[in-house]
Structure 1
Amino acid sequence: MVTFSDMHPARPRRSVLCLPASNPRAIAKLTSLEADAVILDLEDAVAEDMKEEGRRNIRDYFSNRQDGDREVIVRINDAASPHYRADCELILEVRPDAVLLPKVRARDDILDMASYLAENDAPETLRIWAMMETPLAILNAGSIAEAGRTSGGRLDCLVVGLNDLRKDTGVLPDPARTYLIPYLMQVVLAGRAFGLTVIDSVSNEFRDLGPFEAECLQGRAMGFDGKMLIHPAQIAGANQHFRPSDREIAEAELIVAAFSQPGNEKSNAININGSMVERLHFEQALRLLARVRQINKGMKSE
């Protein structure tokens, strides 16, 4: 089984900003934004009569792309939509970093897209992201994550969609997300079991950032890698809260230094300032410091 320690993502994904593909003015501002990743959305954020214009805007963006190493993902319409075929053809044409599948329900949704990409000679670097926003997606989270990793390895990320889950389950709005926590943790477990990135759901609050930042703190505590965003005002908060803190970095550096001391290199557990620290903590510290280097590298290139 592939684990979190084996397959943690090469790129930070603290802030994943979703923009309507039908809004060229918003897309034009991407170069000035510090989001780690951007989703150009052809699905929920785009009206039915604007879908083709959205595809044209995406073509224009990729023909003049100027935002360097930032990940760019295109969210297509689901397989039952009349726009699905045109969206898939667009993916093959522009070759984004990933295609985001909405309304995922079962492993076959991932396998079908993986087969389509392989049959059409899409590069292996073109990944699949999955929106976990249906009750069946939560029930099938483990098999969805496993299928993505064992069938071509294209599945890279699970993104929670709580607005749709609330609608389909009847869970009432609650700032603490009390009754949604089991759904969120199910996605985290599935992602960690098979080495996938896990992205927390959007917060609908972008004028009052207090509730948004509370969700960031909660999502980080749950183990999410980052948060899906709906407004540029949310970028700075996500980047801050999903970055390891100075205290975490200092503790990780202390652990790595201690295990690097002569005689400790092969130890399974050592005493650090009166606390027993195991090798698994050393491995966690190495991953955390690698993540910090990835984030710092991205900040220097902006």
Structure 2
Amino acid sequence: MSQVSLRPRRSVLYMPGANDRALEKAKTLAADALILDLEDSVAPDSKVDGRDKVCAAVASGEYGKRELTIRVNGFDTEWHDDDLRAAAQAGPDAVVVPKVNSATEVHAIESALESAGAPDHTAIWAMVETPVAMLHAEEIARASDRLTVLVMGTNDLAKELHAEHVPGRAPLLGGLSLALLAARATGKVILDGVYNEVKNLEGFEAECVQGRQFGFDGKTLIHPTQLEPCNRVFAPADAEVDSSRKIIEAFEAARAEGRGVVTVDGKMIENLHVDNARRILAVHDAIRELAQ
């Protein structure tokens, strides 16, 4: 993971694509990335209008350094093909596709985007939100170089599992782990699912902490009030940054002196610790760059 290619995705906020006020407000929010939504948040009779609005938003250049993506409607809807064509021509940072269940579907998305003239920088973000997707997560993640991010759809996953939403998410841990393993095995970014209780910020922060401990790169959000705790939890703490710098400095000094054993604060340091320290500093620097 290089500092050049790394892009912070701590907070990825869904914004309703047919809502002018929401699209305008999104320009000022401290989200690392935005998902301009054409699916769940847009009523059937507003789908075409919403499509026009999000494509215009992407083309406006008014969203600063925020990563800008469009979530299209699913494969089984009448709007899917037109959404993909319009999104390809708008050229967002990524197109988010719901309920991706197989490598075959990824190939179909990629082909449709390329046929419609999508620029090389427009990635695919695949939402994995069904039992089938959990069991085929690696093949989905590995299907295309254009696919860069897996997005957990935890609400739909819970529905299909007949599972309850409970603190700690015990019923979902198997699926979360499978998707995480797939992302890490294939070198892809993975985003945690949404937290539904927008007024329960204590519960939300606890789930952010759990997500970071699991290894998620960030979390998808449904309300701007969730931005601050999410950005804070998924950013390296000052103590982590300081410790990472010490580890790298000690390792490089030892290597220059021809020493094979390195200790920092009484702990033995190996290559894996150095790799992790470099990753933490890369995330830290990327967040600072985004804020400038």
Q: TM-score, normalised by structure 2?
A: 0.95
SS in 2 for 1:213: helix
Q: Does 1:231 align with 2:223?
A: yes
Aligned to 2:242: 250
Mapping of 1:278-297 within 5 angstroms? Answer: 278-297=270-289
Task: Report how far residue 97 of structure 1 moved.
Answer: 0.6
Distance in 2 (CA, whole Å) between partners of 1:252 and 1:61 is: 39
Distance in 1 (CA, whole Å) between partners of 2:278 and 2:88 is: 37
Percent identity over the alignment? 40
Name the CA shift for 1:268/1:298 in 2 (closer, same or farther; >3 Å). farther
Task: Report how far residue 63 of structure 1 moved.
Answer: 3.7
Residue range with higher mean Cα deviation, 261-270 or 27-36: 261-270
Aligned to 1:158: 150
**Aligned residues of 1:269 and 1:279 also touching (Cα < 8 A):** no
Task: Report how far residue 121 of structure 1 moved.
Answer: 3.5
Aligned to 1:184: 176
Mapping of 1:106-117 within 5 angstroms? Answer: 106-117=102-113
Task: Report how far residue 8 of structure 1 moved.
Answer: 10
Number of equivalenced pairs: 292
Structure 1: give runs of 5+ residues left out of the alignment: none
Q: Does 1:204 align with 2:203?
A: no
Please report the RMSD computed on the Cα atoms of aligned residues, expressed in angstroms. Answer: 1.8
Q: TM-score, normalised by structure 1?
A: 0.92
Name the CA shift for 1:8/1:140 in 2 (closer, same or farther; >3 Å). farther
Amino acid at match of 2:154: L
SS in 1 for 2:206: helix
Name the CA shift for 1:118/1:52 in 2 (closer, same or farther; >3 Å). closer
Name the CA shift for 1:250/1:113 in 2 (closer, same or farther; >3 Å). same
Residue range with higher mean Cα deviation, 263-272 or 67-76: 263-272
Distance in 2 (CA, whole Å) between partners of 1:263 and 1:17 is: 43
Mapping of 1:255-266 within 5 angstroms? Answer: 255-261=247-253, 263-264=255-256
Task: Report how far residue 264 of structure 1 moved.
Answer: 4.7
**Aligned residues of 1:200 and 1:219 also touching (Cα < 8 A):** yes
Aligned to 2:14: 18
Q: Does 1:42 align with 2:38?
A: yes
Amino acid at match of 1:137: A
Amino acid at match of 1:21: G
Aligned to 1:219: 211
Name the CA shift for 1:108/1:161 in 2 (closer, same or farther; >3 Å). same
SS in 2 for 1:29: helix
Residue range with higher mean Cα deviation, 278-287 or 111-120: 111-120
Aligned to 2:120: 124
Name the CA shift for 1:268/1:51 in 2 (closer, same or farther; >3 Å). farther
Task: Report how far residue 299 of structure 1 moved.
Answer: 1.2
SS in 1 for 2:30: coil
Distance in 2 (CA, whole Å) between partners of 1:290 and 1:87 is: 35
Residue range with higher mean Cα deviation, 108-117 or 37-46: 108-117
Aligned to 1:99: 95
Task: Report how far residue 39 of structure 1 moved.
Answer: 0.2
Distance in 1 (CA, whole Å) between partners of 2:5 and 2:141 is: 15
SS in 2 for 1:74: strand
Distance in 2 (CA, whole Å) between partners of 1:15 and 1:221 is: 16
Task: Report how far residue 236 of structure 1 moved.
Answer: 0.7
Structure 2: give runs of 5+ residues left out of the alignment: none
